[in-house]
Structures are given as C-alpha cells and as structure tokens.
Amino acid sequence: MDSIIGKGHDLRAANSALGESAPLAGLDRSGVELSITRDDTQYGRVLDELAKPPGPVGQSKGFADRAIVADAMFAKGQAKPTLMSGDRKIIDPLFKKYGPGKTTPITQEPSQSMTQAIAKKFPGGFDVDIPDGVGGFKTITIIPMVA
C-alpha cells in the first residue's frame, strides 16, 4: 500500500467490506476499531437514523452500507472521520439528508448522475452532520470516488 499512497495514512476497511473481498498479502484485515461496540444502543440508533425514509442510506436493504457509515462515525482515533466511497447508495442520501444537499440541491448536467455532480462540485469531499443517537451530531467527511 505504501507504494501506492505513501506512508502515514490511517486507512481502514469496514468489516462488511472486508467480508466481501479476498485476503491480500500485507493487508491487515482487522477492520475498524470502534469507540463503542456494535451492540451499543447508540450504534443501533445511528443505524435506525440512517435507515429512515425518504432515501435511506443503502436503500431499503442496505444494512451493510449503513454499517459502513456507522463504523466511520465511531472509528477510534480520529478527530473527524473520513469515509471514501464510490457507492451512490451511500453518497447520494448522505449528501441530501445530512450534507450540503439538505439546503442546496445539486445541479446535474444532462449526462451526469447525482453522484458525479456531487464529486465534481465537492472534489475534496463534503461534511455531513449525522445524529449520533444521544441527542447530538457527529460530523464526518465524505469523499466521493467516482469517474
């Protein structure tokens, strides 16, 4: 990995992403260390929040997508977590419900998907404020990875 992105980055993969991919030599498969457990009531409340209509994160059957976002929210050791994704089922609802799109809709060119328009307007990512399950909000940066 160092040969690709350099040294000094804290890269982690969510457990659901690790479960979907084959092991690679040199890649630590320990997943994301969390500041709370996945059995914690607060974690469950965040999953419930992300599942709320309209436009639940990951659509109606997107539990794994919602878990990836919750894992990013509660990742241990980061001041403000960052989630990189190319999944429109994650990016689009987060943008519309918790990010800049809740107050300012994105303008799409005729041939663009919403995700492509978001990535073009926010190439360095955008912040989302997601209810944290205990009355506050947790800010995470979403970096859309689309062509």
Per-residue DSSP letters for 30-84? ----BSS-TTSHHHHHHHHHHHPSSS-TT-TT-HHHHHHHHHHHTBTT-SS-EEE
Q: Read off the DSSP letter of residue 131.
A: E
Give 90-147 pLDDT, tens digit per residue: 999 999 999 998 988 899 999 999 999 999 999 999 999 999 999 999 999 999 998 7
Which pTM does this prediction carry? 0.81
Pairing of strands 126-131, 137-144: antiparallel
pLDDT beyond 70 at 10: no
